[in-house]
Amino acid sequence: MDTTAMEKRESATTEPEFTYGGHGYVPAVDIIEEDDELLLLADVPGAAAENIDISYERGLLTLHARVEPREPEGKEFLLREYGIGDFHRSFQIGEGIDAEKIHAEIANGALTLHLPKTATLKPRKVQVKATV
């Protein structure tokens, strides 16, 4: 009787896998640290504000932007290079973000996400007093 040994394989992938049809894209992102907040700038062309979902839970920030296909009514494409698909990206930010004050805006396909720091992460200036 033949038996086949099954090896347990550890996945090196730490990113979540999405189970949806269609194309998916990873948006280009810049993150800037300021004294009182982190700014996340992401390119999500074609995504409308009502189609962007942002969640922050236990230090994990997840961005999902759905892009609706643009189909010109009564027109036929001669060439179509622009891919239509959703944007997905996740970041391990940490616990030092004030989740209640996170806010975002989008303009011309550029998303700006404000991640305010909690008081414990904000820089503190210590005053030095002179004694005589």
For 23-68+84-116, the fitting CATH number among 1.25.40.10, 3.30.2320.50, 3.90.660.10, 2.60.40.790 is: 2.60.40.790
| pTM (2 d.p.) | 0.71
Instruction: Quick: pLDDT tens for 17-36.
Output: 555 556 789 999 999 999 89
Tokens 């991640």 belong to residue: 115
* Placement of tokens 């002179």 in the chain: 130
Please compute, for residue 88, the number of CA atoms within 13 A of its CA located in the half-sphere on the CB side.
11
Binning the chain into helix, strand and coil, the percentages to the nearest 5 are 0, 40, 55
List the single range of 41-45, 56-60, 101-105, 113-117 with lowest mean pLDDT: 56-60
Average per-residue pLDDT for the chain: 83
User: Is 70 within 8 Å of 47 (Cβ atoms)?
Assistant: no
| pLDDT at site 82 | 78
pLDDT at 40 over 60: yes
Could you report the per-residue pLDDT of 59-110, keeping only the tens digit for each?
899 999 999 887 788 888 888 887 788 999 999 987 889 999 999 999 999 9
Radius of gyration, alpha carbons of the chain: 22
